A and B are shown apart, each in its own frame.
Chain A
Amino acid sequence: MKKDNNQLIMTLLKGRTFIVLILLIIFFSFASSSFLSVNTLTMVAKHVALYGILALGMTFVIITGGIDLSVGSVVGLVGMLAGGLIQEGLTIGGKTIYFTVPAIIVLMLCMGCLIGLVNGLIITKLNVAAFITTLGTMYICRGLANLRSAGATFSNIGGYEGLGNVGLKSLGANWFGIPAGVYVFAILSIMAALLLNRTPTGWHFLAVGGNEKSAKLSGIKADRVKIMAYIISGFCAAWIGLINTAQLSAAHPASGDGWEMNAIAATVLGGTSMSGGSGTIIGTIVGAFVIGVINDGMTMCGVSEFWQKIIRGAVIILAVVIDQTQRNLQAKMALQARNESK
């Protein structure tokens, strides 16, 4: 009887984030009459895509046992660099070059990968803790973002017809009624899920996070795997830098401030273990929805910004507490099964 109870609790615990998401949606649709409208849901989806894409990259980093605090600043830096390239172009030796929007997107994604590569190299080759390394690059990127314009905003990111660099704004627009960011989120999610579940590299992420020594003994290049995780994270952050700038129609150096925390929260809520070795893309997606629904729902219900912070903090701690409870219960059930078979 007690065992059945445990089994039931386990099932509930495993699906907890999804259950919480449903409950939240039900709650907010009663609390605010306009919550279940097309406009609101489009807005929520837009925000979820922002946290979600960052969280996809964060998932790989956390699965390998690391953390990436720099993503929020990368969002700001990439936005400023992209905005600058459109509004002012690139001046080399007195000549100013204007890039087309696709070229800018490719350049910015490379920029994100480069920052990830630097993070990864410092962490693996110089043996600096991931927390410290990415805390450092977080400040550096934020500083660079401000330096680019001496703290000012690039407000003309629409481009100039004559220069052929129009089009970035469409990344912030709706395509067939759905925000462009949601499409990017969907495509990146599918790619991430394929990478994690369907390729040898995906196994290697889980192996390095689960038992790095064993992974090395199995012939896995653990350093390379970790570096790749940070590159993916930088790549995702660069996407958000572009999408966010397009949505705001302006590049502001303070953009993305603190977003790494939303990404980490979404990842952890999605069941990825902070100690590495386990996590799923679908979990992270659900986690991003929970964060998005809580944030927007609370705003719509008129909860003050101060209380929102307190509630968000409590939700994150609660998620980890439940995660720990699940682990303990799992261990207890395994022990029980052993005693019974004895």
Chain B
Amino acid sequence: MFDDPNVVLHCEKIDKIYPGTKALDQVSFDLLKGKVNVLIGENGAGKSTLMKMIAGIEQPSAGKMYMDGEEVYFKDTNAARAKGIGIIHQELSLFPNLSVYQNIYMCHEKTKGGFLDDAKHIEGAKKILQRLEHEIPPETLVGDLRVGQQQMVEIARNLVDDDLRVLIMDEPTSSLSAAEVKVLFKIMRELLEQGISIVYISHRLEEIMEIGDHVTILRDGKYVADADIKDITLEWIVENMVGKNTQYHRFTRSIDLNKAEKILEVKNLYLPKTGGGWLLDDVSMYLKKGEVLGVYGLLGAGRSELFECLMGMHPEHSGEVIYQGKPMKVGTIADQLNAGFAIVPEDRQRQGLVQSLDICKNASLASLEEFTKFALMDYTAEGAAVDEEIKELHIKVADKHLPILSLSGGNQQKVVIAKGLMTKPVVLLMDEPSRGIDIGAKTEVFEIIHEFSERGLSIIVISSELKEIMAIADRIYVLSNGKCTAELTGAEITEDNLVRASYAGLGTGKSAAA
């Protein structure tokens, strides 16, 4: 039994197990009544997972939830909604093919004699949007709205019924402009006055200090700390978010990078976002020969998009690329590979590997033309080249003709790296090369990065793991909301600087979709 008048919902030792990972590990959480309950943690800390349990989208593997002194179990979103729990999702969950009022009233339709009462819908939608200070015509198609306006529609959906008790907001401001955030905060305060409790997930630390009442910090699926906002500082939050455990060995460089030439330079790179705003907003950076350049940033900061531009996947980008001292026109992916770029993509299973092919073919896939004789494949040459990579990268393989999925995650990743290296690249782009592999394999991947950079290969590494990027990178650019917010070298590379810069591009008053 759990009964506390100040707590609207209590989670008791919630576990959530996905195949292969434990997303939540014995997390207990009190949702305080009439307060803004803030949840903070790095990507993958389990914030959104916990909220999915509370909103009935997913069900806990173990643990209990209590409301009003009674145990509750939400088998679906309708069950949670019946208890007055609404959620605004991190990814917009609207219907772009339908109008604003249809979106707002979806599943809360008003009918008259069995038929839809659209007059009532339109009038109701107008009223709610007025309250949100966004007078969008209710007949507009949602697909034609700016992202910020869509976010408002998403919020409006939760205000249709009067029985709302808890509103979960999962990063509601990630696509809002400063003015829109102000309106949102006003609405949140109104909701609080009406006795509605709010859960607020955000990466914008300044916002949290402004609107939050109580903060709970999660890390790697575990509860770390909680406190009232008035008792704490930003430093305390960052410290608890990042933790102080694992440390990686930092490599010493034999190359003097100060004397090295610039191999690649990007100037004023812009990439437009569908629905308004920019994925990359005036990014300029350079890479020296033999350098390991780190790119740090939160999810959605534009890190992968930077690589995608360089690999020719976004012909709509604008900006200048100077490569080996000459201006370069970014062509197709094949052109970029020929020019000496290679990529180790973020999603190993979906972008890095072809699961139906064996280890050998996966490794040689990007460089098959190298191994032809009179337009036919020369399997001897191909096999020899793959063998060489296997030896060089220490890939543990019994037979290179085994299925790729027979390898461990770490060795699969090395095959993807081998594929990149077999194209004999000048610049190697690595997107989260250590994601989803064990600590031993991580260290080996870092050693590979170090070794090849010592041999003169220029490497850009994207990582969202602070400790890792601090260990391997000679210099780090921080991206935030598409903007380059810091360039750090040597002693400037500290956790504090990185975290601060990664939030710096958010909510600084510049409209997201001017």
List 29 A-B pairs, Cβ < 8 Å: A194-B115, A199-B115, A200-B116, A203-B98, A203-B102, A204-B107, A206-B102, A207-B95, A209-B97, A210-B95, A210-B98, A211-B94, A211-B95, A211-B96, A213-B93, A214-B93, A214-B94, A214-B95, A215-B106, A217-B77, A217-B89, A218-B106, A218-B107, A218-B157, A219-B77, A219-B78, A220-B107, A338-B513, A342-B514
Query: Is A134 close to B, CB under 8 A?
Result: no
Cβ-based interface call for A277 (8 A)? yes
A334 interface hit (Cβ, 8 Å): yes
Tell me what chain A mostly uses at the interface: helix, strand, loop, or mixed.
Answer: helix
Instruction: List the A side residues contacting B157 at CB < 8 Å.
Output: 218
Chain B residue with the shortest CB-CB distance to A63: B97
Asked whether B228 is an interface residue with its Cβ less than 8 Å from the other chain, the reply is no
A88 to B83, CA, bound (A): 59
B109 interfacial contact with A, CB 8 Å: yes
- Contact between chains at A277 and B97 (CB < 8 Å): yes
A262 within 8 A of B: no
Distance between A61 CB and nearest chain B CB, rounded to angstroms? 16
Across the interface, name the chain B residue whose C-beta is closest to A342.
B514
Report how far A215 CA is from B97 CA in the complex, Å: 12
Q: Does A278 contact B (CB under 8 A)?
A: yes
Return the chain A residue nearest B118 by Cβ.
Answer: A198
Across the A-B interface, the 4 shortest Cβ-Cβ residue pairs? A214-B93, A200-B109, A210-B97, A277-B97
B325 at the interface (CB under 8 A from A): no
- Beta-carbon nearest neighbor of B98 in chain A: A206
Q: Other than A199-B116, A210-B96, give 7 A-B pairs with Cβ distance below 8 A.
A: A203-B106, A206-B97, A207-B98, A210-B98, A277-B97, A334-B144, A338-B513
User: In the complex the two chains form, what is the Cα distance from A218 to B89 in whole Å?
Assistant: 11
Chain A's nearest CB lies how many Å from the CB of B121? 10
User: Nearest B residue to A217 by beta-carbon distance?
Assistant: B93
Interface flag for B424 (CB, 8 Å): no
A252-293 Cβ-contact flags toward B at 8 Å (1 or 0): 000000000000000000000000011000000000000000
Q: Which of B492-514 contact A (CB under 8 A)?
A: 513-514
Q: Which residue of B lies closest to A197 (CB)?
A: B116
Q: Which residue of chain B has its CB nearest to the CB of A339?
A: B272
Interface residues on B, range: 20 to 34
Interface residue? B436 (CB, 8 A): no
Q: Specify which chain B residues have a CB less than 8 angstroms from the CB of A203 in the assembled complex.
A: 98, 102, 106, 109, 116
Residues of A within 8 A of B513 (CB): 338
In the assembly, what is the distance between CA of A207 and CA of B111, in Å?
A: 18
Given A210-B96, A219-B78, A198–B107 Cβ distance below 8 Å? no
Which chain A residues lie closer than 8 Å to B96 at the CB level?
A: 210-211
Cβ of B57 under 8 Å from chain A: yes
- The smallest beta-carbon distance between B76 and chain A, in angstroms, is 7
Which residues between 178 and 218 of chain A lie within 8 Å of chain B, taking CB atoms? 194, 197-200, 202-204, 206-207, 209-211, 213-218
CA distance A214 to B87 in the complex (A): 12
Question: Taking the complex as formed, is B114 at the interface, i.e. its CB lies under 8 A from any CB of chain A?
Answer: yes
- B276's nearest neighbour on chain A, judged by CB, is A338
> Considering the chains assembled together, what is the distance between the CA atoms of A213 and B94 in angstroms?
9
- In the complex, chain A residues 13-50 whose Cβ is within 8 Å of any chain B Cβ: none
A215 and B107 CA atoms in complex are apart in Å by 9
Residue of B81, B97, B106, B111 touching A220 (CB-CB under 8 A): B106
Interface centre among B57, B89, B93, B95 (most CB of A within 10 A): B95
Residues of A within 8 A of B106 (CB): 203, 207, 215, 218, 220
Chain B positions within 8 Å of A197 at CB level: 116
Contact B115 A198 (CB under 8 A): yes
Whether the pair B76, A219 counts as a contact (CB closer than 8 A) is: yes
Distance of A204 Cα from B97 Cα, bound (Å):
12
Are A218 and B144 touching (Cβ within 8 A)? no
- Shortest B305–chain A CB gap in Å is 18
CB neighbours of A211 from chain B (8 A): 93-97
Q: In the complex, what residues of B have CB within 8 A of residue A218's CB?
A: 77, 93, 106-107, 157
CB distance from B88 to the nearest CB of A (A): 11
Complex Cα–Cα for A132 and B106 (A): 31
Q: Enumerate chain B residues within 8 angstroms of A338, measured Cβ to Cβ.
A: 146, 276, 513
| Alpha-carbon distance between A215 and B102 when the two chains are bound, in angstroms | 12
Chain B positions 51-101 with a Cβ under 8 Å from a chain A Cβ: 57, 76-78, 81, 89, 93-98
Q: Which residue of A lies closest to B110 (CB)?
A: A200
Closest B-chain residue to A200, C-beta based?
Answer: B109
**Chain B nearest CB, measured from A23 CB (Å):** 29
Chain A residue contacts of B95, Cβ below 8 A: 206-207, 210-211, 214-215, 277
* Bound: A157/B93 CA distance, A: 53
Q: Which residues on the A side are within 8 Å of B115 (C-beta)?
A: 194, 198-199
Q: Which residues of B contact A278 (CB under 8 A)?
A: 97
Which residues of chain B come closer than 8 Å to A210, judged between CB atoms? Answer: 95-98
Complex Cα distance A243/B96, Å?
Answer: 39
Give min CB distance, B58 to chain A, whole Å. Answer: 11
- Name the contact of B114 in the complex, choosing from A199, A207, A209, A334 (C-beta under 8 A): A199
